[in-house]
Structure 1
Amino acid sequence: MAFKNVAFGPTQTIKVHHPDGSILFRLNSELNSFPETITDRLKEWSLLQASKTFLAQRNQAGDWQQLSYGETYLQMCSVAQHLLDMGFGDSDSVVILSENSLEHALLALASVHIGIPYSPISPAYSLVSEDFSKLRHCLEKMTPKLVFVQSEQAYSRAIHFIKTHFPATQILVAEGVSYPHIEDWRYSEFTDKVEKAHRKVTGDTVAKILFTSGSTGLPKGVINTQQMWCANLQQITQSFPFMQEQAPVFIDWLPWNHTFGGNHNYGLALHNGGTLYIDDGKPSSKGIEETVKNLREISPTAYFNVPKGFEMLIPYLENEEQLRNTFFKNLQIIFYAGASLAQPIWNKLEELAIQTIGVKVPIVTGLGCTESGPSALFANWGGAFSGLLGVPVAGLEVKLVPTGDKFEARYRAPNVTKGYWRNADATSQAFDEDGFYKTGDAVKFLDENNPDKGLVFDGRIAEDFKLSTGTWVNVGVMKTKIISSGSPIIQDVVIAGLDQDYIGLILFLNLDACQKLIGSAENIAPNQLYEHSVIQQFLENWMNEFNQQATGSSNRIGKIILAQEPPSIDKGEITDKGSLNQRAVLSNRKALVSQLFSHYE
């Protein structure tokens, strides 16, 4: 079946083998010029299409509140004037504790416009955390002069914590009565001091700090310069030139405190003069209803989500013809990140596209990280598959360095971070002697004789381990196969077996999917759900079928155990975007690991 005719960028590559065994891999296409600062584009669009909607979000009445490019630029300058009047010093910053919102966007733009570093901190560190340890760490690193919170009521505990431990920090709110209100900043007059401050901003100026929940320890603040962000938006646009031919329309929930939502999606709308509708939903039993409500109205030109989001969306697309028509009508690509997309979900999306518009919509894959702003590689063509990473973006060099029997991918490019905020040790450890950022991702060529077919994912270097036999276990590849074959019952997995005789799994199940499989009208408690004969039989059958495909001890499952407790964000077991930290789970749940290997059944 044919794919929708979509304009993609070139994919011809250059592959060079070096005497030390490393390989240099890049696109045979140059990176075009790009703006020096992120708000240069905003000013340009405010002159060319002042009345066009840039951002929109539903208000409390459920109506779309819209900001045009002209309004956004003027209100950004007004907010910037207030920031200048506060007298920020060289060590000061702005911190944002908020979900995606119009006010969040304006304060962020105002900060980067006049060269004040800002950091959008994960709302989970304020709303979910019990001890505020990660929030404290981020605030200590940022030394903010101003903290913005969307809702004084929702963030009351975090505000109390800030006022207690960081008493000099000023609070700004969008909803509340006890602190200054950003609404009073948005429509005030501004002076030529704003433009003078902006003229001092260069590509090397720090735009924002994005904190990543690393594999160990506390979050690290990734420095995002103006050049880094602007370069990557140009690289992505060259990979997907249809975004220049037709201004993009996005409806998106992905949080701006992450590089996927904040740099990639939000940035692409701004860079290409498009419109971003803020989706206040998310992939949860309640949040998906808001997402579907929005998708019934908005026809996106590209749709971004995490695999869980697509999984929850599919039943609605299957049951509502009008929703399908609206969703697929203008859709050029489907793009996922954050985890591997299970093949049954992939197949269903293609099937629904064919049913609705007669052709497949290309599902785009790739590889990136916060340190690369985020995009480094794309498989920007129809016929990709889960695990295919594609070819480098223009202007980015990938060095493949032998590590054991694998190759680690390392990046050097204008879109790669200069390091970690106020963390010299982590910065020095992150780069090799040639200035390449060490990703820790293992990759290999799909076809050694045809590099244009791209790279495929080969696991995480640090996660792989050896069994007692000396056999290596490729955790990343095996995890992808487990989740894909066990979907939707198996939601996530941690793989254990270092120095053991066999591989053991700690499984995290999807409670809603388990409930549906059992077919009971009553909600069953999680512990009873896991012990239900239908679930036990499913897992037994699944494990037997999985092992029938195994080629040896490196990918054969010896035993499984179910995690009764959900992963903890305070213990570092899960990031606020939902991905599991393998090392933290193994460290925190030693009793489960012990049970896995206490005896072999």
Structure 2
Amino acid sequence: MTTQTRSTTTRPSLEDTFANTRELLDAAARVHGDRDAYVQPGSRTTFAQWISQSKAVARHFVDAGVGKGDVVTLLLPSGIDYATCYAAAAMVGAITSGVNGRLGPTETRSILAVSAPALVVYGSQPPPELESTRASVSLEELRTWYSDQGGDLPAVDIGRDDPVAIIFSSGTTGLPKGAWFDAANLAASAQAAGIMSAPYDRRMTSTPFSHAGYMSKLWDQLLWGTAIVIPPTPWTAAGMARTLTDERVTVGGGVPTQWAKLLEQPGLDRTSFPDLRVGVVATAPASPDLVQRTAELIGVPLVVRYAMTESPTVCGTDPEDSPEVQFRTVGRPQYGMTVHVTGSDGTTLPSGEVGRVRIKGGCVMRGYWRDPELTSGAFDSEGFFVTGDLGKFTPQGNLVLAGRFGDMYIRGGFNVHPVEVEQVIARHTAVRDAAVIGHSAPVIGEIGVAFVVPADPAHPPTLAELRAWTTTMLADYKAPDHVIVVDAIPQTAMAKTDRARLRELAVADPPPARS
């Protein structure tokens, strides 16, 4: 059992004394005023402009029949328009849900059916017609509301325990599920920010705004006065470098490959990004070599965060952690979070033993929207959320993820956790990225299939080389039995390894029959 109670070394620009999100938005407009709130290609807005614009939209929301407890669903790209609608809904006690633009029509219809919105705000494509949706408005019409100067918003009795956001999962194990959060959740997320937040940070992010990485951080942004910087698309290393410099970014996020490509830009040194104080690695661990090269070349520490839709903050590493800790672990539980690793019977396991990860704390969702049965099944008798992740604690208290509960495969009677093998393969000098799955095989049950993105496409690593490399660090039965070279590891809409797609690829490219 590990409980984290570390305090942050800095305090937010605003003290957390607010009864609800509406009060906090008003205070942020007064205190942060002319400071940037959002920067996107071709446009930017200050806190005062954003919140004034949101009030104008909130008045139109009320005219459209949106009130406390109603859902506003956003089919909008990430950016100022999305942020305006989110703040506007919070001002009238409504609840915001978002739809990731990469989701398909079946998933979108499911989200709309579950959220049953009073209003849908949409961009290029109108929403499907559903009985559960009362009204809709286009982005074009929405923007005509921004300059309206109406009267005061109606008084609404809103508390910290009222829902603010519904964040939908990616639907990789079925249709999307909506985790809902109240203002107290969002306040807890701000308290648990740790190294991720400092007064008036400028945070570069490519996370979709419908994702937990944005939706759960509204109070964090308002309390700390953080500017959200959205880089140009499509992503390029040169574009990332320009954004970091031109926008004086202090916190930069990216996947390991993006950080690696950034370091390949010519002429970089410790003066290249003078404002950047920390880099955040998303979706996959950064190799010790990448962590070390980033620190040595541009003087920036890389840290890792472990989170999920149901709990946008769980664990994290610190800048002073060694490259090996940054690579092999996801750090320690953050402020206010308790993490257990348990056996099949729910008992807590000692460090070093792999089990199911269970979490508890202010950042954990209140439940799944309009699904009490699913909510009840997600928590144990002690109130811990039972995740789908497997992991173990090191003696130093760092959590090591071993994979998803359903991803483990059994090779000849031995359990193999794919993440552990992936991390070893990814350290091979001929490998840029890797993923591993179990694949059905006669006699032995299952074998390991490794998907590899080579560092040099002209000279991909061989199966023999990767097996020899893996067995220098892991048991021989964990070495891959088959290697498939790919241009990129397929990703889900939430930028996670798409293991369902990998299983399809393994079927299409089976290992050769053993003689």
> Which TM-score tier does this pair reach, normalised by the shorter chain?
0.7 to 0.9
1:299 aligns with 2:248: yes
Report the counterpart of residue 507 of structure 2 in structure 1: 591
1:391 aligns with 2:305: no
Over the residues paired in the alignment, what is the CA RMSD in angstroms? 3.1
1:549 aligns with 2:472: yes
Deviation at 1:496, TM superposition (A): 3.2
TM-score, structure 1 normalization: 0.75
TM-score, structure 2 normalization: 0.86
Instruction: From 200, 224, 227, give the equivalent of 1:272.
Output: 224
2:240 partner amino acid: T
Tell me the distance in 2 between the aligned counterparts of 1:34 and 1:413: 20
Tell me the distance in 1 between the aligned counterparts of 2:216 and 2:484: 38
2:462 partner amino acid: L
Instruction: From 263, 267, 274, give the equivalent of 1:320.
Output: 267
Structure with more of its chain in helix, by fraction: 1
Tell me the distance in 1 between the aligned counterparts of 2:319 and 2:243: 28
Deviation at 1:80, TM superposition (A): 0.6
Report the counterpart of residue 539 of structure 1 in structure 2: 462
Report the counterpart of residue 349 of structure 1 in structure 2: 294
Report the counterpart of residue 260 of structure 1 in structure 2: 213
- Paired residue secondary structure (1:186): coil
1:334 aligns with 2:279: yes
Q: Assess, with a 3 A threshold, how the Cα gap between structure 1 residues 187 and 72 changes in structure 2: closer, same or farther.
A: same
Tell me the distance in 1 between the aligned counterparts of 2:144 and 2:130: 26
Instruction: From 115, 120, 136, give the equivalent of 2:109.
Output: 136
Cα contact 1:502–1:557 (8 A) shared by 2: no
Tell me the distance in 2 between the aligned counterparts of 1:462 and 1:548: 24
Q: Assess, with a 3 A threshold, how the Cα gap between structure 1 residues 351 and 551 changes in structure 2: closer, same or farther.
A: same
Deviation at 1:489, TM superposition (A): 4.2
1:114 aligns with 2:118: no
Cα contact 1:397–1:413 (8 A) shared by 2: yes
Q: Assess, with a 3 A threshold, how the Cα gap between structure 1 residues 540 and 558 changes in structure 2: closer, same or farther.
A: closer
Cα contact 2:67–2:94 (8 A) shared by 1: no
1:419-498 alignment runs, 5 A limit: 419-447=367-395, 450-451=396-397, 454-468=398-412, 470-485=413-428, 488-496=431-439
1:184 aligns with 2:144: yes
- Paired residue secondary structure (1:463): coil
1:183 partner amino acid: R
Q: Assess, with a 3 A threshold, how the Cα gap between structure 1 residues 226 and 554 changes in structure 2: closer, same or farther.
A: farther
Report the counterpart of residue 367 of structure 1 in structure 2: 306
Deviation at 1:242, TM superposition (A): 6.7
Deviation at 1:446, TM superposition (A): 2.1
Cα contact 2:252–2:279 (8 A) shared by 1: yes
Report the counterpart of residue 30 of structure 2 in structure 1: 47
1:86-125 alignment runs, 5 A limit: 86-88=64-66, 92-125=70-103
Tell me the distance in 1 between the aligned counterparts of 2:7 and 2:33: 33
- Paired residue secondary structure (1:79): helix
- Paired residue secondary structure (1:148): strand
**Aligned pairs, number:** 499
Q: Assess, with a 3 A threshold, how the Cα gap between structure 1 residues 58 and 550 changes in structure 2: closer, same or farther.
A: closer
Report the counterpart of residue 494 of structure 2 in structure 1: 577
- Paired residue secondary structure (1:310): helix
- Paired residue secondary structure (1:201): coil
Cα contact 1:253–1:280 (8 A) shared by 2: no
Instruction: From 155, 162, 169, give the equivalent of 2:135.
Output: 169
Q: Assess, with a 3 A threshold, how the Cα gap between structure 1 residues 203 and 486 changes in structure 2: closer, same or farther.
A: farther
Tell me the distance in 1 between the aligned counterparts of 2:34 and 2:402: 47
Moved more, 496-505 or 438-447: 496-505
1:189 partner amino acid: Q
Tell me the distance in 2 between the aligned counterparts of 1:434 and 1:38: 29
Cα contact 1:342–1:484 (8 A) shared by 2: yes
CA displacement 1:304-323 (0-9 Å, x = unmatched): 2222322332222xx0348x
Tell me the distance in 1 between the aligned counterparts of 2:431 and 2:121: 38
CA displacement 1:66-90 (0-9 Å, x = unmatched): 3222222211111111101111267
Give the gaps of 5 or more residues in structure 2: 346-352
Q: What percentage of residue pairs aligned between the two structures are identical?
A: 19
Report the counterpart of residue 310 of structure 1 in structure 2: 259
Cα contact 1:430–1:438 (8 A) shared by 2: yes
CA displacement 1:328-364 (0-9 Å, x = unmatched): x1222111121222333323212312xxxxxx43322
Deviation at 1:562, TM superposition (A): 4.4
CA displacement 1:540-585 (0-9 Å, x = unmatched): 4642442441543432122223469985xxxxxx421332232564
Cα contact 2:120–2:137 (8 A) shared by 1: yes
Deviation at 1:252, TM superposition (A): 2.3
- Paired residue secondary structure (1:243): coil
Deviation at 1:497, TM superposition (A): 5.3
Q: Assess, with a 3 A threshold, how the Cα gap between structure 1 residues 563 and 52 changes in structure 2: closer, same or farther.
A: closer
Give the gaps of 5 or more residues in structure 1: 1-22, 60-64, 175-180, 354-359, 519-533, 568-573
Tell me the distance in 2 between the aligned counterparts of 1:340 and 1:168: 43
